[in-house]
Amino acid sequence: MRYYILKNVLRQMRFVLLLILIATTGCKKKNDDNTGQSKGLKVYYSDFFPVGASVGSSNLTGDESILLIKEFNSITAENAMKPGPIHPSENNYYWTDADKIVDFAVANGMKIRGHTLCWHSQTAAWMFLDATGGTVTKDVLLQRLKDHIKTVVSRYKGKVYAWDVVNEAIDDDNSKIYRESSWYNICGEEYIAKAFQWAHEADPDALLFYNDYNTESASKRDKIYNMLKKLLDAGIPVHGIGLQGHWSIYWPSETDILSSISKFSSLGIKVQITELDVSVYSSSANFSVRTPGDDTFTSDMEQKQINFYKAIFRDFRTNKNVINGVTFWNISDRHSWLDNFPVANRKNYPLLFDKDLKPKKAYWEVVNF
């Protein structure tokens, strides 16, 4: 009888112990330590990929800099390394802002993504003009591109670990392949391969990316895939694709994003999300007449954004073997380039921190896994 009671007590104790174990394991899975304090995106994602943000030199002091250091372990210059700002005239490079960003990253042990060496936008007009103001020849333009790339990449050699070498070279229009930029119109598609070769020569250790937006549109995805395949087949040093990730709570679908990750990585290259933000407006919601309250962050937007962020970060984690970086475009909802685009002065709320730099609900969904 006594033996029977003891056996029952032990069995019940085992059951209680099991419950305690399940409960504590459940808590462990939750990254939120219930204090409402975040440990930092870079800590939660240390087993997955670096997490970055794009910055300007004005973000490197004050509360934004504290948040940057705590949350992120990678940085991209939002504008300072682009051809126009850094190379405003033929014999003049402006390094001050880019240097500040690089120094900040080095001082705080952060990785640096270089953005960008060759782009149709934010490139000073002199690049495409000869001394008489006419269009420059292909030979001269390629020589200028070479000089530009060699000078910029060499300066940050060993500090910038990855470069967006060519940005946005593919057209959005289904009937066209390459964007008819001055680069393309003067050089043809050759400038793309050359840019990668020269970047590789200047820093053989840097990871070289092709970077673009709307990479989840099926036709643009295919065009980019074909271009990358052609480059890789020709032995051009392309190591990765940057999916910019300028997405919204309405677009793209998870399936579209997963298709892009899988299609591009099938080429044997890495995938990074390089400019992530999740707009709370659909691309067609370009209202021009604003009434008070038009641009508040509604609970419907908030919930849709929570769901979107939760899903994409789950997908990024699942694909950690091919994704080797996720970078947000800007730091918090205090300021985003989307506050002015495509509708001037319309406030947007695309990031994981609010305007007071506090983690939003979406943040907790991203880190609690």
- Are 167 and 196 contacting, i.e. CB atoms less than 8 angstroms apart? no
Taking the least distance from each CB to ligand 9MR, the nearer of 213 and 364 is: 213
User: How many whole angstroms separate alpha carbon 174 and alpha carbon 80?
Assistant: 32
Taking the least distance from each CB to ligand 9MR, the nearer of 213 and 313 is: 213
Taking the least distance from each CB to ligand 9MR, the nearer of 253 and 340 is: 340
Answer yes or no whether residue 277 interacts with ligand 9MR by CB under 6 A: no
Taking the least distance from each CB to ligand 9MR, the nearer of 48 and 349 is: 349
- Are 101 and 55 contacting, i.e. CB atoms less than 8 angstroms apart? yes
Q: How many Cα atoms sit within 13 Å of 8 on the Cβ side? A: 5
Binding to ligand 9MR (CB under 6 A) within 154-173 occurs at 167
CB of 110 to ligand 9MR, least distance (A): 19
Is residue 170 classed exposed, middle or buried when 0-12, 13-18 and 19+ CB atoms within 10 A define those classes? buried
Answer yes or no whether residue 79 interacts with ligand 9MR by CB under 6 A: yes
- Report H helices in 78-130: 83-86, 96-107
CB of 15 to ligand 9MR, least distance (A): 57
Q: Give the number of other Cβ atoms within 10 Å of residue 167's Cβ.
A: 23
CB of 339 to ligand 9MR, least distance (A): 10
Element (H or E) spanning 74, and its range? strand 74-77
CB of 223 to ligand 9MR, least distance (A): 17
Q: Give the number of other Cβ atoms within 10 Å of residue 229's Cβ.
A: 13
Is residue 47 classed exposed, middle or buried when 0-12, 13-18 and 19+ CB atoms within 10 A define those classes? exposed
CA 93 to centroid of chain Cα atoms:
26
CB of 148 to ligand 9MR, least distance (A): 16
User: How many whole angstroms separate alpha carbon 297 and alpha carbon 79?
Assistant: 27
CB of 275 to ligand 9MR, least distance (A): 5
Answer positive or negative: Cα dihedral of 133, 138, 140, 141. Answer: positive
Give first-to-last CA distance, the chain, whole Å: 48
Taking the least distance from each CB to ligand 9MR, the nearer of 297 and 337 is: 337
Q: Give the number of other Cβ atoms within 10 Å of residue 360's Cβ.
A: 20
Taking the least distance from each CB to ligand 9MR, the nearer of 122 and 143 is: 122
Please indicate whether residue 90 is annotated as part of the active site: no
Which residue in the block uniquely carries the two structure tokens 């070498």? 165
CB of 155 to ligand 9MR, least distance (A): 19
Q: How many residues bind ligand 9MR (CB under 6 A)?
A: 9
Taking the least distance from each CB to ligand 9MR, the nearer of 305 and 336 is: 336
Answer yes or no whether residue 283 interacts with ligand 9MR by CB under 6 A: no
Q: Which of 64, 71, 78, 168 is catalytic?
A: 168
Please indicate whether residue 275 is annotated as part of the active site: yes
Answer yes or no whether residue 78 interacts with ligand 9MR by CB under 6 A: yes
Strand-pairing partners, residue 167, are: 119, 211
Instruction: List, as one string, the DSSP characters of 125-175.
Output: GGGGB-TTSSBPPHHHHHHHHHHHHHHHHHHTTTTEEEEEEEES-B-SSTT
Site string for ligand 9MR, 94-123 (x = CB under 6 A): ---------------------------xx-
Answer yes or no whether residue 275 interacts with ligand 9MR by CB under 6 A: yes
Q: Mind telling me the catalytic residues?
A: 168, 275
Interface ranges with ligand 9MR (CB under 6 A): 78-79, 121-122, 167, 213, 244, 275, 337
